[in-house]
Chains A and B, each alone.
Chain A
Amino acid sequence: MGEFTEMTAAFSAISRFVDRRQRFFFPAPAVAVLFLIIVLPIVFNLYLTFTKWTVGLGQPQFIGFDNFVEAFGDERVWNGVKVMVYFSGASLALELFLGLMIALYFNRAFRGSEAVQAIYIIPFAATPVAVALIWRIMLNPEIGVINYMLTSIGLPPGLWVSSEHMVVPTLVMVDVWKWTPMITLIVLAGLKSLPQDPYEAARIDGANPLQIFWYITLPLIRPVLIAALMLRSLDNLKEFDMIYTITQGGPGIASETLYLYSYNVSFGFFKAGYGSALMVVVFLVVLVFNVLMNRLRRDASAV
């Protein structure tokens, strides 16, 4: 009997201890898993950044900032930055513009608009690699359906991704086709949540539809636009599936973004150290872009 009370006492002491520190105990497994699958790889990656290491050949050698120095003088890094800016700049701008326009269109209810919207979001819902493969086949200048259709209506065929000048615009087109619906959905949700009375006030104040869009809708929707841009840019600046599947960065290196190059270095050339350093550069670009965007967004939403 006494032993039993003692045990219960001990047990309740433990349980009290745990109870008072629930905030440590409950998240512990999640924290451990996060540490293993997120923190450790990042730390290891950062370490590799300062090493020269070809996978399989010996141990990583510490070389300080040499990888970054090499990157600075590497033509393909600059090419990658150029392609990234070109691709991301063009696709993000177009996606934002078209997404906004189409959202404005969908925002006015019309017959069958729900069905149209459902069809419209298919590209965005489809698996990226599968979609990219289909585009790759369609864009083939010899056997692709796009050139077939163009020539059958009397237009000249294009080289599409087989031309070093057209490859990036073509990839932008595919990206816009796939991701504009996502921007549209976000912006549409934003439009639907806008207050309606400023619109009536503006009509009475004398604004025409264009002025209402410019002075009312655009400023009000700006935080949503920036949020959509941020969300999209996270993926877009690291666009991989689509470019890798369609061109692998070709022709030559005409569509090789910095991210694709860093992948090639790490997993094609097995140069893990240099590859990691390039990944870090990509990460920094994405980070800086998003910090800037976030600042813009905070300014915009301070209404």
Chain B
Amino acid sequence: MANVILKNLVKRFNSVTAVDDLSLEVHDREFAVLVGSSGCGKTTALRMIAGLEPITSGEIFIGDTLVNDMDPKDRDIAMVFQNYALYPHMNVRENLGFGLKIRKFPKAEIDARVQEAADILGIHDLLERKPKELSGGQRQRVALGRAIVRKPKVFLFDEPLSNLDAKLRVAMRAEISKLHRRLGATIIYVTHDQVEAMTMADRIFIMHKGALQQTGVPMEVYAKPANRFVAGFIGSPAMNFIDATLVREADAWYIDAGEFKVKAPAAFNARLEPYAGRQVVFGVRPEDIAAHDPAADARAGNTLTARTDVVQTLGAEIFVYLTCGAHSLVALMEAPEQTLTEGQRLDVDLKMVKTHVFDRETSQTIV
């Protein structure tokens, strides 16, 4: 059993609260990703789990043991650092074996484990090299290897891929996921990159300003963001937010943004009821905006007329930056047969069932 439980964890640096009453549970063998923009407290939380940062208040359990006052070395964890933190004066073999040597493992056992890690990571050829003779990706592998050889209960990753170039990052993502399956260990992975979170996590923990915003499997936080922050943070490109008012006409609810008015699906009605006439924020993901389908039912009330500002072609898909009066929208749509020109009029349909409505005051999700 190596679950990790944080209870009401608080960290203050003088007057600044870095982690504010954080409670969460990471299950055994789970790949948990702590994600949030920089300064959200995710790294501080991870360092507290590691024991590198003293706790202001709260409790941390690793595998049912309260570790608040335990030294890092006694917590049975391994950590992979953003800057790799390799020992510059040791070669790769010594870097990998250091933790075992310190723990007085027999030499044969150390050798065997180093071999095994080198096998897993494909770094056999590098064993005799010093860190400064390695590329960034190779160093990252060595840093991973150093964590692997220890066979700890919990792996902690602190933005391990952020110093790699984009291509290598994609490759390493897959590799770490594979590694997780192979090792079957609990992993707590900190990143600011929601793509990493989405692609690798069993569960995502989204943090903002020191507090946990939402926990869930990737598709869940994507489809059902708990609040406007999560909605904006998860998904790329980010969700469009438009200030609007809820109005009731006949028996349907309308989202009135001034320049346009769209009809909310009937499924929303119950939730929207209490917000009649209130100021809300209307959210729609770029991928839920499509070019107007003339064949569609005109009564759907999901079409709006906009002007194209910029059109970026990705290949099969295009980004279209739209203005609709004072509102700006980004749309990600299939490339139409007739090339769009900038500055032209364009009618678009919104996939209304996938849109969201947020309370403008509390930012909480209404629908």
Contact = CB atoms under 8 A, between A and B. Distances in A.
Nearest to B85: A197
A156 B119 CA distance: 69
A206 B99 contact: yes
Nearest to A218: B89
B73 A303 contact: no
A303 B130 contact: yes
Interface in B37-96: 50-52, 71-73, 77-79, 81, 83-90
A198 B77 contact: no
Contact of B102 (A205, A220, A302, A303): A205
Nearest to B76: A206
B146 interface: yes
B105 to A, nearest CB: 11
The 7 closest A-B pairs by CB, nearest first: A197-B85, A205-B99, A206-B73, A201-B85, A303-B89, A219-B89, A206-B102
B81 A220 contact: no
Contacts of A201: 79, 81, 85-87, 146
Interface of A: 195, 197-198, 200-208, 211, 215-216, 219-220, 222, 302-303
Nearest to B50: A204
Contacts of A220: 88-89
B16 to A, nearest CB: 20
A195 B73 contact: no
A203 B52 contact: yes
Given A207-B73, A207-B102, A202 B52 contact: no
B181 interface: no
B73 A197 contact: no
B132 interface: yes
Nearest to B95: A201
B268 interface: no
A58 B72 CA distance: 79
B83 A197 contact: yes
Contacts of A216: 87
Given A197-B81, A215-B98, A303-B130, A204 B88 contact: no
A208 B85 CA distance: 17
Contacts of B77: 204
Given A200-B50, A303-B131, 15 more contacts: A200-B72, A200-B79, A204-B72, A204-B78, A204-B79, A204-B99, A206-B72, A206-B102, A206-B103, A207-B102, A211-B102, A215-B102, A216-B87, A220-B88, A302-B130
Interface of B: 50-52, 71-73, 77-79, 81, 83-90, 98-99, 102-103, 130-132, 146, 150
B46 to A, nearest CB: 12
Nearest to A208: B73
Contact of B81 (A200, A206, A219): A200
Contacts of A198: 85-88
A200 B46 CA distance: 13
Contact of A203 (B73, B90, B103, B131): B73
Contact of A195 (B78, B79, B88, B130): B88
A241 B85 CA distance: 47
Given A215-B98, A303-B132, A203 B85 contact: no
Contacts of A219: 89-90
29 contacts: A197-B81, A197-B83, A197-B84, A197-B85, A198-B86, A198-B87, A200-B50, A200-B52, A201-B79, A201-B81, A201-B86, A201-B146, A202-B87, A203-B51, A203-B71, A204-B51, A204-B72, A204-B73, A204-B79, A205-B102, A206-B99, A206-B102, A206-B103, A207-B73, A208-B73, A219-B90, A220-B88, A303-B89, A303-B132
A208 B102 CA distance: 9
Contacts of A211: 102
Nearest to A216: B87
A240 to B, nearest CB: 37
Contacts of B146: 201, 205
A221 to B, nearest CB: 10
A207 B79 CA distance: 14
Contacts of B72: 200, 203-204, 206
B219 to A, nearest CB: 33
Contacts of B86: 198, 201
Nearest to B94: A215
B4 to A, nearest CB: 15
Contacts of B90: 219
Nearest to A205: B99
Contacts of B84: 197
Nearest to A223: B89
Nearest to A220: B89
B181 to A, nearest CB: 24
Contacts of A303: 88-89, 130-132
A205 B71 contact: no
A298 to B, nearest CB: 14
B255 to A, nearest CB: 50
A239 B163 CA distance: 51
Contacts of A206: 72-73, 99, 102-103
